[in-house]
Structures are given as C-alpha cells and as structure tokens.
Amino acid sequence: MTNYLYGANVQANGIRQHYLRYGGQGLPLILIPGITSPAVTWGFVAERLGQHFDVYVLDVRGRGLSEASPTLDYSLDAQAADIAALADVLGLAHYAVLGHSMGGRIAIRMARRFKPQGLERLVIVDPPVSGPGRRPYPSGLPWYVDSTRQSLRGMSAEDMRAFCPTWTEEQLRLRAEWLHTCDERAIVASYNSFHEDDIHQDLPHISLPTLLMVAGRGNVLLPEDIKEIQGLMPDVTVARVENAGHMIPWDDEEGFYQAFGYFLGAPV
C-alpha cells in the first residue's frame, strides 16, 4: 500500500517549484535530491520515510517538473532561497530538511543564510566538500553531461547501465525515463558550484541539530573531511553506512534507514 499523496506546483522564490508529497503525518520533512536526481527517483525512499513523516520531495530548479530556462539563476544561493521560500509557502511551522549530495550543500547554505525559525533538524547525506583551494569532486562533469545528452535522444535501462553499473533494472529504468528533465545549464552550474562555493564557512554558523551521513565505500567524504566538519560543528552527529557508495539508499537501503537512529524523533 503506497503512502504517496500527490504532486503539486507552487510559486515560491519567484519560480515554479514542483514537489511530491508522501505520508502526510508527523514532522514535515523536505527532501532535497542531488545534481541529476528528479524528485520521482527518490520515491522509494519517500515511501519509507512517509510511514513516519510528512515528506515533501523537491524537484530542485532545473530538474524534473520545476522551472528551467536559459536565464534562470542556478546558483547555490538561489537554490537555498528556494527551500526557505518553499517551507514558507507550504506553511510549515516546524520541519526538518534532508539533503543528499548537492542537496546537502543546499541545506547547509539555506540553514546558515536564512536561519528559518521553523527549521529544527538537518540531515546532510554525503555532501561534496570540494571548494576553493580544495581537491576536486571525484566524479567528472562529463559523466553527468554525457548521460544527460544521451537521455535527450531517448535512452533504455541498458544504455543507462553503462553509467550506473551497480543499479537494479528498476532503478535504471526510472533514471533513463527522467534524466532528460535535468537541464544541462543547471547541471553545469551546480557542478561548478561544488568547486567555487565554500560551504565550510557556513558550518560554524549552524547551531541546530545536524546529522552527517557518510558513505562507507564512497570517496566524496574522506576521514580528514569528516574530522574537519566535526571541528567546525562540534555537536554534529556522524553516521556511516559502511556497505554503500555515494548513492547510499541505492546501495544499502536498509543501512540508510538505520543510520537515522532516533535523530528525527522516531526510527525509520
């Protein structure tokens, strides 16, 4: 039995933002996916989280069914402002934010820049820690651009397997169906932001409870990166999912849920 409720579009921060809602009860939770992950690709996670929380999975600007255009601002600051505006438009008095990869960076910038009164908890899942003067993000831009361009012509699950060899047939099908909705301008701008925006400067200014979830088999966050984050956010809670790469719930779904513990107030 599904707990998917509906999809909707709202005008927030001057653009059309599309989201999918699951559950409808408990603490509201805004889920922000990564650089080429439309909201629908996180549906299987939202189904589980929706058993306990009121989940809103966002299509980040330039992805999925949210607004995209040649002139749209795809900066990290604009994306962060989207989340604050979305929570306001939805009338969320108290809520948590979960961001994966790029979504984690958006969540960090949003929490520091806007300090929303209703924001109670942050979950940051394997965020890129590249930035000015730091090592580059381990995945190269061509991986994203080449797969997206191929999806624009039409792409099968088998075609997608060349880019995501460990994924299941169902996961590959869904990505092949939806990847074409990711605007290349948005992808390039966000990828460049990984290297140009310094999220480390934001971390000491975030005082709310924060869970940092790390992929045990990933190379996005190294031990020294985790130590640096702990130095900047002494109260951060760190959870490792040992048997997962960067796309944690795709690699070890149960491990992903277990890593939450009671951080959100109830086990997932």
**Shortest CA distance to 37 belongs to which of 134, 164, 203, 158?**
164
User: Is the per-residue pLDDT at 75 higher than 80?
Assistant: yes
Question: What backbone torsions phi and psi does residue 43 show, to the nearest 5 degrees?
Answer: -60, -40
Q: How confident is the model at residue 198 (pLDDT cuts 50, 70, 90)?
A: very high
Angle between helices 102-114 and 76-89 (to 10 degrees): 70
3-state secondary structure the chain: CCCEEEEEEEEECCEEEEEEEECCCCCEEEEECCCCCCHHHHHHHHHHHCCCCEEEEECCCCCCCCCCCCCCCCCHHHHHHHHHHHHHHCCCCCEEEEEECHHHHHHHHHHHHHCCCCEEEEEEECCCCCCCCCCCCCCCHHHHHHHHHHHHHCCCHHHHHCCCCCCCHHHHHHHHHHHHHCCHHHHHHHHHHHHHCCCCCCHHHCCCCEEEEEECCCCCCCHHHHHHHHHHCCCCEEEEECCCCCCHHHHCHHHHHHCCCCCCCCCC
The mean pLDDT value for 52-74 works out to 97
User: Is the per-residue pLDDT at 2 higher than 90?
Assistant: no
> What pLDDT sits at residue 58?
98
The tens digit of pLDDT for each residue in 121-145 reads: 999 999 999 999 999 999 999 999 9
Q: How confident is the model at residue 1 (pLDDT cuts 50, 70, 90)?
A: confident
Average pLDDT, the chain: 97
> What pLDDT sits at residue 28?
98
The mean pLDDT value for 199-220 works out to 97
* Percent of the chain whose predicted confidence (pLDDT) is above 90: 98
CATH class of 4-135+198-258: alpha beta
Residue type, 213: M
In this structure, are strands 95-100 and 119-125 parallel, antiparallel, or unpaired? parallel
User: Is the per-residue pLDDT at 178 higher than 90?
Assistant: yes
Residue 259 region, left (φ>0) first, then alpha (ψ -120 to 50), else beta?
alpha
> What pLDDT sits at residue 95?
98
CB atoms inside a 10 Å sphere around CB 190:
28
User: Is the per-residue pLDDT at 213 higher than 90?
Assistant: yes
The tens digit of pLDDT for each residue in 23-36 reads: 999 999 999 999 99
Q: How confident is the model at residue 161 (pLDDT cuts 50, 70, 90)?
A: very high
Contact between 202 and 112 under an 8 Å Cβ cutoff? The reply is yes
> What pLDDT sits at residue 21?
98
Please list the residues that pair with 17 across neighbouring strands: 10
| pTM for the model | 0.98
Cα four-point dihedral sign 153, 157, 158, 160: positive
